[in-house]
Structure 1
């Protein structure tokens, strides 16, 4: 079974993803030489999504190898790719609003079509991945059925207490209210599904697919940490362009890209047999 390092050595698309990551890592480290509101921070915050774009494009091609929308795993890969592309779209849209249209706080805006849209996309992708992994809740023992019901509730409760406690409703802006609740709750749902997929499938998955699927779930967990930390930092007025949160997003894009590229190597290995 190939490790991530072996995949990077073998696949040109993985090498490009790592190269993009390293370039932006060096760029991010250099930001410590500038003030937080510098042009360098703005450029970094507007461009690191290129890695998500690359991963999304590569993922679309890999999905086709697995049958695209005609197969369960193909659909999972397809929608994880859509999720990366949605993240890139959100970044581009916000960049246009802030730096070209000079709108300081464009929320809600077209950018949220990408950022918020990635949530239902990831939810569907995880459901397809769970199905491809052979997860069937009806066949699980009672303890795991209870876990399946309790996990989302616990994560939703934590999200509410940390991000929405004391929320002041402004009913003149219903879309803002919807997004303020939709972001943390939606993200809590997809990470709950990811945790359940891992928990319920760890005794089912075997062979060459086990580590590949678990790696994608780990990548999704890092994506959740990115989203959660963004909401937390914004709430506490600690977020700034080019900060640690943007770097965590960069890491999540790399992991998801490599996770999808791994599935290309699996397909190629199976075809050669």
Structure 2
């Protein structure tokens, strides 16, 4: 099951690259395929997380983590669908920013953070001091890059973008929540070595870091006005959800072993 799922998932992502690099099919086909891939993979990942949650015992401390991951992916998937509506009904035009989709996209991040915190509590172990220090450094570097690395994009957005205060607020929500997610993931990494559930959660952490990197790259691309639908960056999220799905499937197997 794991191998088949992986082959199908990677094949779907590879086909996305192929049709966009080779300009295969119509522009509308490539657009709709990419949008469908993002939304569909999100809900598939959510369904596997939900299945894993139900396979956990009622007193399993990780059951709550899987529940939150399911909810976070569903929110992101809803955001992806809302994002897709605009180009579909506006002749393929780029979705404006900010958009109603950002409600789902932003809602995903706090739930994922709480899911990771719940996992740490479930393990019942203390976080190494070095892990805490690295997490703090990573948070500061990520925030600095988001703000300073974008040529002060966040600081000037209020006066330069039509979105005004709304766009400014949404940007800052991303600029703070994404680094918090990264820092929390690093805390998990610092305690994974030697854990019996490490093989599962390495997949989860890899997926969340891929998600984070995709968000950062997307922000940079949008700020510098070179992002268009069909860009390879669109694969960041389907690949992130694939990794989370792998973790969920492995955890499900372990729960039934």
| TM-score scaled by length of structure 2 | 0.86
* Runs ≥4 residues deviating over 6 A: none
Deviations 1:145-166 (A, max 9, x none): 5445443223222322223625
C-alpha displacement at 1:133, in angstroms? 3.1
C-alpha displacement at 1:260, in angstroms? 1.3
Q: Does 1:54 align with 2:44?
A: yes
Deviates more, 1:98-107 or 1:49-58: 98-107
CA distance in 1, matches of 2:16, 2:95: 25
Aligned CA RMSD, in angstroms, stands at 2.6
1:53-92 aligned within 5 A: 53-67=43-57, 71-92=60-81
Counterpart in 1 of 2:207? 219
Paired residues of 1:44 and 1:242 also in contact (CA < 8 A): no
1:134-145 aligned within 5 A: 134-137=124-127, 140-141=128-129, 143-145=130-132
Instruction: Name structure 2 gaps, 5 residues minimum.
Output: none
Deviates more, 1:30-39 or 1:157-166: 30-39
CA distance in 2, matches of 1:37, 1:162: 36
C-alpha displacement at 1:191, in angstroms? 0.8
C-alpha displacement at 1:29, in angstroms? 1.1
Q: Does 1:108 align with 2:101?
A: no
Q: For residues 265 and 35 of structure 1, do their structure 2 counterparts lie closer, same or farther at Cα, with a shift above 3 Å needed?
A: closer
Counterpart in 2 of 1:12? none
CA distance in 2, matches of 1:67, 1:92: 33
CA distance in 2, matches of 1:176, 1:67: 43
Counterpart in 2 of 1:174? 165
Q: Does 1:30 align with 2:19?
A: yes
Q: Does 1:186 align with 2:180?
A: no
C-alpha displacement at 1:264, in angstroms? 0.2
CA distance in 1, matches of 2:244, 2:76: 12
Counterpart in 2 of 1:241? 229
CA distance in 1, matches of 2:25, 2:180: 33
CA distance in 2, matches of 1:151, 1:162: 14
Instruction: Name structure 1 gaps, 5 residues minimum.
Output: 1-6, 10-14
CA distance in 2, matches of 1:155, 1:165: 14
Counterpart in 2 of 1:124? 114
Paired residues of 2:132 and 2:187 also in contact (CA < 8 A): no
Q: Does 1:158 align with 2:145?
A: yes
CA distance in 2, matches of 1:162, 1:169: 14
CA distance in 2, matches of 1:151, 1:22: 33
Counterpart in 1 of 2:82? 93
CA distance in 1, matches of 2:210, 2:11: 18
**What is the SS of the residue equivalent to 1:170?**
helix
Paired residues of 1:135 and 1:197 also in contact (CA < 8 A): no
CA distance in 2, matches of 1:28, 1:244: 7
